[in-house]
Amino acid sequence: MTEALSTDGLTVSYDTPQGLVPALRGVSFTLYRDEILGLVGESGSGKSTLAMAIMRLLDPDRTQVKGEVMVGSRPLYDLSKGDLRHLWWEEIAMVFQSSMNALNPVLSVGEHFTDTFLAHRPAMKIAEIRQKTISLLEQVQLSAQVIRSYPHELSGGMKQRVVIALALALDPKVLIMDEPTTALDVVVQHSILTEVAAIQRERHLAVLFISHDFSLVSGLAHRIAVMYAGELVEITEKSLATNSSNPHHPYTEGLIQATPQITGGRVRIQGIPGEPADMSHLAPGCAFWERCTKRLDKCKMLPVPEKHTHTFIRCHLMDLSSSQSHSQSKEELAHGQ
């Protein structure tokens, strides 16, 4: 598999009146070409901060960033501003949260695309830009007539499609999508997700799809990464994501149980008790320990070792289970001998 994007020990802290407050803590993962990696977690878990840090869009005067971000083989934080400008949208692009409000109200859809192309490829002819724009709009199921429309003339779903088409305009290899279907009704949401999956396959894109909706992500992504209190606590395969018989981090289990379930004609939702961790007063051990119904004595004080593999569960309980299984296997082998 070809690595399209990777982070190694990515840590972000915000400068506040109370001092530096962590938002990301040692995040390491790899996103491959031809893959959709879903990123889920509650509000405030650090998902959008991760996206902004990957794009190198955080204000350096208000944040402290450590660690490494690689786009392909290029270290993002070692690039000059000029090189970074060429990397944006041509190698890596982003559909921002609340991006329906990102369109300039005084520019037509066509003018948005013209500005984008001329800023990066000034040699392009107007006729070529128009042809390319129409092709991009058709890819997201919009007619060529939309090119003359202004944002206020478009529905929410149409504006979202325009923003996705803009992100694809310069043929990036990596696409980050931060809550791209927020505030859309379920019918439009399903349509856009279907289009995202089709475009990803057609272009062989590497997509980081961010959402707070576990069920939505589990239906789209190939792997699912779960974030809590600025850390990745699990990365699991899609096929294992919603199967309760498979082991998961207790927080992941909580997200799965919080997904509406229809049983006996009734909708059942089981929330996660407690409140998200206070990032300014984190315990030295697992940040989820206060809310966890399966916590061990060591969870509060003993940090969980970092993991950076294709799939993993970062939890003392899972390490204990592995140790017990290993011991049991040794006993069975000895008994067999």
pLDDT in tens, 43-95: 999 999 999 999 999 999 999 999 999 999 999 999 999 899 889 999 999 99
Mean pLDDT of 325-337: 39
**pLDDT 10s digits, 184-238:** 888 888 899 999 999 999 999 999 999 988 888 988 999 999 999 999 999 999 8
Lowest mean pLDDT among 34-38, 111-115, 254-258: 254-258
> Which residues make beta-bridge pairs with 30?
6
- The residues spanned by each domain of the chain are 3-91+172-336, 110-169
Q: Residue 178 pLDDT > 50, yes or no?
A: yes
Closest CA to 86 of 97, 101, 76, 96: 76
> What is the reported pLDDT for 245?
67
Give the H/E segment covering residue 29: strand 19-32
Beta strands in 127-222 (DSSP E): 174-178, 206-211
| Average pLDDT over every residue of 130-152 | 96
Residue 158's pLDDT is: 93
Q: What's the Cα-to-Cα distance from 67 to each of 11, 50, 182, rounded to whole Å?
A: 6, 12, 30
In terms of CATH architecture, what is 3-91+172-336?
3-Layer(aba) Sandwich (3.40)
- The pLDDT confidence band at residue 181, using thresholds 50, 70 and 90, is confident
SS3 157: helix
Of 152-166, 237-251, 302-316, highest mean pLDDT: 152-166
Q: Are 96 and 48 in contact (CB under 8 A)?
A: no
Among 85, 100, 209, smallest CA distance to 163 is for 100
Name the range with the highest mean pLDDT among 178-182, 191-195, 229-233, 264-268: 229-233
- Tokens at residue 246, please? 């498979």
Residue 77: predicted pLDDT: 96
List the helix and strand counts (H, then E) for the chain.
10, 13
Amino acid at 162: V
Mean pLDDT of 301-317: 87
Q: Report the distance separating Cα 36 and Cα 50, nearest Å.
A: 16
pLDDT at 337: 39
